[in-house]
Structure 1
Amino acid sequence: MENKTLHKHMIDEGVTEETIDVLIDEELGTLAKIKNATDELLKNCKLKAGQIVSIRSAIKNVEQSSKGGSTKEENLKEQAAEAKRGTLQSHSKKRKQEEQPKDEVEKQQTSEKRAKVASNSIQTPPLHQPSSVFGEPIHDHAHDVATFGDEIFVTNKRSGCVNVINRSGEKLRSFELKETEIGDFHAFGIAISNTGLLYITDNNHKIIIEKDDKSEDPPSAGNRRNTEVFVCDTDGRVRQRIGKEVLKKPTGIALTRNDEIVVVDYEQCCICIFGIDGKFKRKVGSQGRGYGQFRRPYFVAINSKDEWIVGDSGNRRLQIFDGSGTFLRSVPVQHLVRGVVVDSADNIFISVIDDKPREKEYYKHAIMMYNANEVLYGEISADNLKRSCKDEDLDLIRPRGMCITKDSSGEDILIVTNDSEIGIGLRKYKLTPSITQ
């Protein structure tokens, strides 16, 4: 430390760098030179009397710390030179900062702030933001959305088809899943495996009667049929059908990290678990208001802990289960819960609506966010919609399934399906925080 103190003291006293070189190379070379330093040498450096006293005092400290022998002497010399380089770099950096124009400094600070915000993206999105239209209005009662690679897959319940769009919202193709022997297929929930297999729930549990059906024993309009989960590739070629003997009215679906298929059954008020081979394993839950029971459940999402987060709409809450189906905790929500999705930080996004909105002066059709500890962060979308608003003026009318992805510009976004004949099928919200946040 003494050599650094010496060098700093010289700089503070106004000694030039050339003089410092002389003192380091000539005066600190050996102990003998240190002990025999003379006023003549210092005067040759054209120093003032006060500077000479200060330097002699610093040299004396160096001398006392150098009694350990020649090895310590060499170390002192090397450390002194290193201290000199460090001080020069520090002064050079300071001079550059002083010389840098003010607008350049502000630009650098803004850039650093943007980088910090970008690194924390999708964790603290702007609140109360209006959504924007995502893509063309090509979706007929869009119910759920999922991504694979650069493609986005949207289920359309009424048409029974799946629309495939790119990250700009432009349509690439579509395919239908029609099963004429059992009636139209109502594509509802969708999940996609890492290998690109689509798992799509069929929500139509009623037989469709054709007007020209003249069979002797036509099915009655109220008859119900068993529904299934259809597994297909990204072009719609069916590879597997799951749950025909078990499911009644499946809605949401998710894939766990343990290669299990978690299916929400709206009619049975339960969760049905299947192996990746399609074999039924067990049911979790029943109808009711207690913990582990459901009323009108819709969607399910899986977090990084492989926990199931289920939207229990009729009970106005989220219910969370571990990977074995054991109830863990409940999160109250003041509205009917529709879609559920989690991001990479386990933040939870839910789409909600008010029941009987026309009886209220203000009502919500909104997107809400809870952090990884299930604490409410706030409402992402605009809220407090007035009853006097016309449907076509509303941002969201009937939000359902959602997914988190990136748009064509690389920005993190939340895509929300809008199940309505009036509104645009898909809306999007920004998940990158604003600079002012």
Structure 2
Amino acid sequence: MAIIKTKKKGRSLFPEHGPKAENGKEILLSVKDIDITFGSGDTAVRAVTDASFDIYKGETFSLVGESGSGKTTIGRAVIRVNPLAAGEIQYKGVRISGKIPHALDREVIRNVQMVFQDPAASLNERATVDYIISEGLYNFGLFENEADRVQKVERMIHDVGLLPEHLTRYPHEFSGGQRQRIGIARAMVMEPELVVADEPISALDVSIRAQVLNLMKKFQKEKGVTYLFIAHDLSVVRFISDRIGVIYKGRIVEVAEAEELFNFPLHPYTHSLISAIPIPDPQLEKNKVQYIYDPAIHDYSTDKPEFVDIGHDHWIYGNKAEIEKYKALREKGEPVKAVNIISPEETEKFAKARKTTEEAQAKKVAKDLEEFLQAPPRDTGSIWYTLVSFFLPILGLIGGAVFKHFHYKRNARSCFKGAIRGFIVLGVILALFLLLLILAVI
């Protein structure tokens, strides 16, 4: 029999509204200069470095970047799973990172929910859908009586596009898209103000993704929920986001409104991400030249980089010289061309050049493989040949010549290498001896 709890009507530890930004919007969540480190000492790995951004109430803020860039790490820090090494996270102006009172921790759990990437792994296989959705209601007493709880669960299961009879089933009886709907229902039944959606559609079929995204946008419109949407697919992010933050190797490199970012991808990494978006036309995709980001283009040895606003609510990471260049590009007002489509003739030219390079590489690999297969079985190039030749260089030269004559190339190379080094050391010793002898005579 279910344990029925009475809904607790206490005063919230959070203010009704968060602080106002310079543009007049209410800041719901503020991430300020956070570092996240795993491990300690020499084995410590810094997953996130000096990351900062604000999320306004009612918007969808997307955090994009390649796998391993630190997106999920930040999302898990927001729900207090990953501790911070530096910086702080504020919710409505109240610090929620680090050590906080138990009552405040419960309010964070109540107000900030998460939708996980893998719908199969994030649901308890031994629990019914009814219990999975009701668990938060039980833990926080968010219902008046059993009838009220059932009504809330049934209303929520209907809102996510499932049926009341599904409540008695188990997660393994559902498809991936249906399981993700259950995960969304579990989060939304708590009536959160902020939902961290960690790549909620990446594990789903393409045909199901639009349905899940439309479902999330419906909840946002009806309930005013705010999303931190974590993703790596910019083609999806563009159409659901109000603002986008780009992260590279744990550092936020650019933040701007969605259309602003796509029209003016100023940071080279953002440029490369946008250029990687597939073009539906196969001929254009074939003629597309993808921009490849190389971190070596930045020289931060003397001119240290900063994360600054260059206007138009467009934040970017760079040193003074780069910031001036980015500002000049933005003030021109001409959209930055992120994708370069070349003519079929140029495509054919590039294809021939690539084919020539690949053929040359293939010939070299084949030659190396042939040499390896033709080498005698004992031609190992052992380090012992190098050591013996080092101490007995004359013997090493003789041995190397013999090995070379019988096509033992690796052994000959080891002998010659040790003999040369041995002669160099003997030469240095002899030179020092002669120098000391001269000094003694003088």
| Smaller-chain TM-score bracket | under 0.3
TM-score when normalising by structure 2: 0.21
**Which structure shows the higher helix fraction?**
2
Give the number of the structure whose residues are more often strand, by fraction: 1
Whose Rg is larger? Answer: 1
TM-score, with normalisation over the residues of structure 1? 0.21
